[in-house]
Amino acid sequence: MLAAMSLFLGLDSSTQGLKAVIIDAGTGSIAAAAAVNFGKDLPEYNSPDGFLPDPDPAVKHADPLLWLAALDLVLARLRAAGAPLAQVRGIGGSGQQHGSVYLNNTAAKRLAALDAAAPLATQLAGIFSRKTSPIWMDSSTTAEVRELDERVGKRLQRDTGSPAIERFTGPQIRRFLKTDPLGYARTARIHLVSSFLASVLIGGDAPVDTGDGAGMNLLNLRAGAWDAPIADATAPGLLRLLPAVGKPGGIAGALHPYFAKYGLAAGTPVALWTGDNPASLVGMGAHNPGKAVVSLGTSDTVFAAFEKFHTDPDGFGHVFGNPAGGNMSLACFKNGSLARERVRADAGVDWTFFDETAFDQTPAGNGGKLALPWFEPEITPAGRPAGLRANFDFAAAPAATRIRAAVEGQTLSRALHSAWVGKFDTLRVTGGASRSKGILQTLADVFQARVETIAVTDSAALGAAFIAAHNTGGVAYDDLAAKFCPTVGTVLPRPETADLYRGLLGEIKRMEE
């Protein structure tokens, strides 16, 4: 039986801010929430978009002191708002994936000796062997990716779940070794954003979970442990610099007394932190296989849970650990909502026409007319240059035809590159475009799956709170999803469209190639 007030705190450190949510797992309600926007609330860190300006557009680094200042500020805001922090039974968290934090040999002592009289950013300013942290947006490691491909080859994807990727942590570590060998030599520990902030909370050395650790090109997901040969190929002595690997359901440690000044109880269990994508999987109630999440944002993502470890034979999809156990897939498509916006603007129509009228005026399948609106270089499939691709005279076609061609082309591509995961019975759709009737029906028909829209915002922070409730309070993920992730809308597939769209998958593959 759950206590009358079963409160759990979830924290999500994203690219542009830090969010906090306290859930009452007993009643299925949000007890309190707060947020910090890095650019607006902490302008002294010169990071208006969450990262430091750099003359090289490929370099995207953040100041880890910014994340510490935000942690103090978000907890202070919760306290000031009267949040019931003293009753919080467990804490969980998520961080932007792939970002790395480099600590020197003074870090362990300083973390253990946190002083409530001084801000975190002040007393921890000297613990970094690398002053800035490369984040997921960084693409400066092209040479290092090529080197890892040459040194490790196909086994990198086969065992870690992903090929060498510029934004992944392993290539970033290798670049640090090459550009600053003295800084690398001064490094005693390399954390992810998630495990670093968990370490601050416990005043110790938190493990890395398999969800976030799989975004490093270093974790052998088959074994659930660091891969020594891959680590050695990445940088000498790297294995000793990596934290322990934690198992799903694990605890990072107990909350340091420093945080009692905000009203939290010292010793409160802190769950293993994870990456923002694994946390969102849980926070969207999609932790079980057979249910996928389609996020329709600036970039579109498709992610889903599955049990038996396997990888994308085409090498485009990624595999991470699932905080609920097993694994999850993720495919990211760079041309998402911004591409749809450009198609709409070029057609000279409003959003009502784009979302509804265009689909009323055209048949499913669009007579075979398809388009891929790649206005930015695409990453799934990887290495595709920018440029709209169509199998008909796109510019001369009516607006409705162009809109359906683009939406169906995007959706067929999403289905093509998630087929390796398995069959989905349900798609949970989020993001701004989830309001579009035409897009929702197209998703239902192409995937031949039930499409659900749910009333969830800040899914990573909510997922972090779910992880806290499960790992520290023993609350079942199914119970949490039932209470916090209610379905607000449903679209069913039309069986008569199944063969039609199945037949168009080959055409989309041809257009991509």
- Claim: this prediction has a pTM higher than 0.85: yes
Sign of CA dihedral 480, 483, 487, 492: positive
Domains and CATH numbers, the chain: 7-278 (3.30.420.40), 285-455+476-513 (3.30.420.40)
Selection from 437, 442, 443, 454 nearest residue 489 by Cα:
454
Span 268-277, average pLDDT: 97
Q: For residue 35, give the DSSP letter.
A: E
- Take residue 471 and report the two structure tokens written for it: 């790992």
pLDDT for residue 3: 44
pLDDT for residue 457: 82
Count of CB atoms situated within 10 Å of the CB of 454: 21
Contact present, 507 and 370 (Cβ < 8 Å): yes
Span 135-159, average pLDDT: 95
pLDDT for residue 119: 98
Q: For residue 300, give the DSSP letter.
A: E
Residue 4 has pLDDT above 70, yes or no: no
pLDDT for residue 432: 82
Count of CB atoms situated within 10 Å of the CB of 397: 18
Span 213-234, average pLDDT: 97
Selection from 376, 364, 446 nearest residue 405 by Cα:
364
Cα 79–chain centre separation: 28
Please state, in angstroms and as integers, the Cα–Cα distance from residue 506 to each residue in 83, 240, 389, 394, following that order: 54, 47, 15, 20
Residue that wins the pLDDT comparison between 314 and 226: 226
Contact present, 440 and 491 (Cβ < 8 Å): yes
pLDDT for residue 433: 87
Contact present, 269 and 257 (Cβ < 8 Å): no
d(CA 167, CA 506): 31
Residue 390 has pLDDT above 50, yes or no: yes
Sign of CA dihedral 299, 430, 470, 327: negative
pLDDT in tens, 45-98: 999 999 999 999 999 999 999 999 999 999 999 999 999 999 999 999 999 999
- Take residue 276 and report the two structure tokens written for it: 């923002």
